[in-house]
Amino acid sequence: MSQQLSCENYNSSWTSAATALLSACRYYKPELTMIEFMGYSGHAFRININADDVDVAGPTGYDWESFFRKGLSNLGFTCRAIRTVNFTPPSPQELTDAMSLIQNSIDKGIPAICWDMFIPEFGNIYGYDDDKKEFMAKDPGGNGTLPYEKLGRGQINELFVMSVEDTNEMDKSKQLKGALELAIDHAYQRVHEDHLPPYENGIKGYDAWIQAFQKQQVSDFGNAYNVAVVHDARRFAAKFFSKLAQEWDEEMENGETIKNLAFEASKFYDKVVTQLELLVNMYPFPDGGNPNHSKQAQQTIEILGKAKQAEEHAVQTLENMLYELK
C-alpha cells in the first residue's frame, strides 16, 4: 500500500492508479501536475465503500479501463488496455499481447501502467530485458525486476496493462466540463452491476461506510486504507478548485461565475477534508486503530455524516458550475 504522505504534499497521492497514469502522461505533457491530473481525471472525487466491512479492496474495486479512459480523454489522451476478467491469469495469447503493448510503449519512452506487480496496486513498467526475460517495474510495494511469466500472476491472478498512446490539445472549458460530468456521475450513479458485495460509490459511499460502523464489523486495515485514500483525494479536490478559482479567465463566457463557483466548491471540499482528517488521526494506516469500539464507532458515524453533508453541497456546486459551462 501507499506510504504515509504529508498533508502539504501535492506531488504524490495515495491513489496509485493516478500516480501510475500521470507518470505515463508526463511523457507528452511534462508540465502536468498531480493536482491537475487528480481533478481532470476524476480520481479526486472517488469513494467506493463495502457496506459489510469497509474492506481494503474499495479504492481499487471498479471498472478501471472505462474510468481511466474517460479521465484521460478529459486531458486529451488516448489509451490502449488489455485485461483479463473474473480473476483469471492471462492465456498465452493474452500474455503475448500484453508484453507487446508494454514493450512498444517503453520503446517510445513511455512507461506502461500495470496492476498487481509487487502488491495489488497500480504501478509502472519502465524497462525490459529480453535476454533475462524480465521487466523493470515500480509500484507502492517495490521497485525492481519482474519476470515476464509473473505478469498477470501476482497476488490477485489478474492481468491489467495500459499504455497512453497519444494526446491532443484540449479546450479548457471542454476539459472542465468533462471533469465535472465524471465527478457528478460518480456521485450519483452506482457503477456496480452486482448487488453483492455491497459496494457503494459517491454520496451513497458515505451511507455504506456508516452502515458498516453501525454493525461494528469494520476491517481495521481496510478502514484505515479507505480513510487515507478518500481523505487524500478530497485534499486534491479542494486544491484543484482553489487553483481553478485563481486561474480561470474571467473574460471567458460566464468566467466570473465559474471562478466564484470554483472557490465555493473548494471551501466545501475543505470541509470534507476537515472531517476526514479526524478519521485519519483515529484510524492511522496501517495499524487501523479500534473502529469497532462502540464509542469510537458512534463518533465516526457522526463525522461521516458531516463529511457526507459537505460533499453533497460540493457536488451541488459542481452541478451549478456544469450548468454555467453548458
Q: What is the pLDDT of residue 2?
A: 40
Contact partners, residue 227, CB within 8 Å, separation at least 6: 276, 279, 280, 283, 285
Q: What is the pLDDT of residue 142?
A: 94
C-alpha to C-alpha distance for 314 and 238, rounded to whole angstroms: 10
The vertex-15 CA angle with 8 and 264, nearest 5°, equals: 55
Spatial contact of 162 and 113, defined as CB atoms under 8 Å apart: yes
- Report the percentage of the chain scoring pLDDT > 90: 90
Greatest pairwise CA separation for the chain in angstroms: 59
Arithmetic mean of pLDDT, 135-159: 95
pLDDT band at 6 (very low <50, low <70, confident <90, very high): very low
pLDDT band at 326 (very low <50, low <70, confident <90, very high): confident
pLDDT tens digits along 82-92:
999 888 889 99
CA-based nearest residue to 34, from 59, 46, 47, 16: 16
C-alpha to C-alpha distance for 70 and 144, rounded to whole angstroms: 31
Q: What's the CATH fold of domain 80-167?
A: Cathepsin B; Chain A (3.90.70)
> 7 pLDDT exceeds 70?
no
Average pLDDT, the chain: 95
Arithmetic mean of pLDDT, 231-236: 98
pLDDT band at 8 (very low <50, low <70, confident <90, very high): low
Q: What is the pLDDT of residue 1?
A: 46
> 252 pLDDT exceeds 90?
no
Helix (H) or strand (E) run with residue 39 in it: helix 34-40
Spatial contact of 101 and 80, defined as CB atoms under 8 Å apart: yes
Domain boundaries along the sequence of the chain: 34-63+70-75+171-325, 80-167
C-alpha to C-alpha distance for 30 and 140, rounded to whole angstroms: 22
Cell of 181: 460530468
Spatial contact of 114 and 151, defined as CB atoms under 8 Å apart: yes
> 279 pLDDT exceeds 80?
yes
User: In the chain, at which residue ranges do the beta strands (DSSP E only) sit?
Assistant: 48-50, 77-83, 112-115, 122-129, 134-139, 142-147, 160-167, 199-201
SS3 content of the chain, % helix, strand, coil (to 5): 50, 15, 35
Arithmetic mean of pLDDT, 68-89: 94
State the amino acid at position 104 in one-letter form. Answer: N
C-alpha to C-alpha distance for 144 and 136, rounded to whole angstroms: 6
Lowest mean pLDDT: which of 88-97, 182-191, 296-305?
A: 88-97
